[in-house]
Structure 1
Amino acid sequence: MALPRRPTGPSPTPEDMKEESLCQAFSDALLCKIEDIDNEDGENPQLCSDYVKDIYQYLKQLEVLHPINPHFLDGRDINGRMRAILVDWLVQVHSKFRLLQETLYMCVAIMDRFLQVQPVSRKKLQLVGITALLLASKYEEMFSPNIKDFVYITDNAYTSSQIREMETLILKELKFELGRPLPLHFLRRASKAGENLKQQYYTGYTENEVLEVMQHMAKNVMKVNENLTKFIAIKNKYASSKLLKISTIPQLNSKAIQELASPLMGRS
């Protein structure tokens, strides 16, 4: 007599698989006694070592509450190339004004969040960008540049009044909610963790989950290295000695980068 078949449940969902993977990572962390990267920060109140894990959990939740659709420019008067030109210019303006790194990241976040909810004409795209930089400066900097500086940097394409009006419109559309976490916040945490197992434990992401992002980053690096793009403000910025000339290191031309980029560049 044959034994009855063991009942089978529904196939695991991607969320179930992710949870299982993370649970395994946490189990591995406990077994391997993963280093507590916040252990020596107790005497520095700015690092909030007692709350830092809860803070990053909250930031992840906050990121979901203010999503940016990857196709938010579809069907709009503005396309991805126009946005790229603007961001490239904003990087140069940011460097000229010597603003904080957070200010640039926040500027782009404000601009993208606004563009996905408010149709903007091509003539006003630069106005949105420079106003987003003004707002980010007010939020992040101890001393924000004067609005006249922003008028000057646009070669007087817009007046102070126009920038003020756009500032009001952006704030209303975003409901004054400017606290969306930035990639820089998570990057610093991941960099502090360092190694693979520690990164998975502290970021909550497996290597497979970040692979697609890594491929896109590698593709952009390759396009810059092979002169396949005109947008080189980032490369020039990070070629300075102040930023350790990180965009000139030989590792950016390595085989690993080429292999990561190849699926997105039509190369085998």
Structure 2
Amino acid sequence: MALLRRPTGPSPTPEDISMKEENLCQAFSDALLCKIEDIDIEDWENPQLCSDYVKDIYQYLRQLETLQTINAHFLDGRDINGRMRAILVDWLVQVHSKFRLLQETLYMCIAIMDRFLQVQPVSRKKLQLVGITALLLASKYEEMFSPNIEDFVYITDNAYTSSQIREMETLILKELKFELGRPLPLHFLRRASKAGENLKQQYYTGYTENEILEVMQHMAKNVVKVNENLMKFIAIKNKYASSKLLKISTIPQLNSKAIQELASPLMGRS
């Protein structure tokens, strides 16, 4: 009842009100956590899972996600368009598979490339150079043993020299201020998968179903277009058709009515 008592001192400042609201939000968050299963409680014996800090880590990743946002139309008015980027990404997926790199490396590569393209105009002749250099940087960041720079020269059929790749590497690092750390889809996917149920997923990821609906629709649209041969970029489908990745792109659920309905608003279908 103390919170309802009429204040006897000076009126609270906006800063006081803001702080009180933050405290109330934190109290509500703590109370909510008591009602939702702690999915990290069994991980205390594994130091690699950082169970004492994992919630803070994901909060930090969400902050990074906001700070490093890629605008929806970041290629508008540029020499590079979305189709050119799609061709490049399709090729990078194949290169990534050929080099047998970690999944994180591919996601990091695309993130570096897009962040650079968003702030630095690039000519069509240098787009592939940006892509392969981004893969080199991502490999250095994620892999224990990164491919040699000569391997990247070879995979481009000598379209670029080692010196050109090094120059682009320097330019990208300067443009991104060496801030390569970025939350990747895999980070959040693993967290959501660990949470499992809908309510726990919402609590631990911080996203409601409505907030991710548009992304789900775009993903469903791409799945439908690939399955109906309406898209030429099939490197991802081929990659996930391998037994090593459990042939996940061939499962019947990807041709289900649910996927069709999810994609229909973006495909002009009723």
Unpaired runs of at least 5, structure 2: none
Check conservation: 1:106, 1:182, Cα contact below 8 A.
Answer: yes
Matches of 1:143 and 1:264, distance apart in 2:
42
List aligned pairs for 1:131-142, cutoff 5 A: 131-142=133-144
Counterpart contact for 1:25–1:201, Cα < 8 Å: no
Report the TM-score, using the length of structure 1 for normalisation: 0.89
Deviations 1:154-203 (A, max 9, x none): 00000000000000000011111101211221111111111111111111
Q: Secondary structure at the match of 2:85?
A: helix
How has the CA–CA distance of structure 1 residues 120 and 50 changed in structure 2, closer, same or farther, with 3 Å as cutoff?
Answer: same
Matched position secondary structure for 1:40: helix
Q: 1:102 to 1:2 in 2, by over 3 A?
A: closer
Q: Which moved more, 1:171-180 or 1:32-41?
A: 32-41
Q: State the aligned residue count.
A: 268
Using the size of structure 2 for normalisation, the TM-score is 0.88
Aligned equivalent of 1:19: 21
* Alpha-carbon distance in 2 for matches of 1:242, 1:196: 29
Give the Cα–Cα distance (whole angstroms) in 1 for the partners of residues 113 and 151 of structure 2. 19
RCO higher in 1 or 2 (8 Å CA, sep ≥ 6)? 1
Q: C-alpha distance in 1, partners of 2:23/2:109?
A: 35
| 1:116-155 deviation per Cα after TM superposition (whole angstroms, max 9, x unaligned) | 1110000000000000000000000000000000000000
Q: Is the 8 A contact 1:73 1:116 kept in 2?
A: yes
Q: Supply the distance in 1 between the matched residues of 2:112 and 2:140 (Cα, whole angstroms).
A: 13
1:26 CA displacement: 7.0
Q: Provide the rounded CA distance (Å) in 2 between the counterparts of 1:212 and 1:27.
A: 27
| Post-superposition offset of 1:66 | 1.6
Partner of 1:180: 182
**Large movers: runs of 4+ above 4 Å:** 1-29
For residue 94 of structure 2, the aligned residue among 76, 92, 95 is 92
Task: Map Cα deviations across residues 11-59 of structure 1 (whole Å, 9 max, x no partner).
Answer: 9999999999998997898499322111111111010011100100011
Q: Within 2, Cα distance between the matches of 1:22 and 1:255? A: 44
The gaps in structure 1 that reach 5 residues or longer are: none
Secondary structure in structure 1 of the residue aligned to 2:2? coil
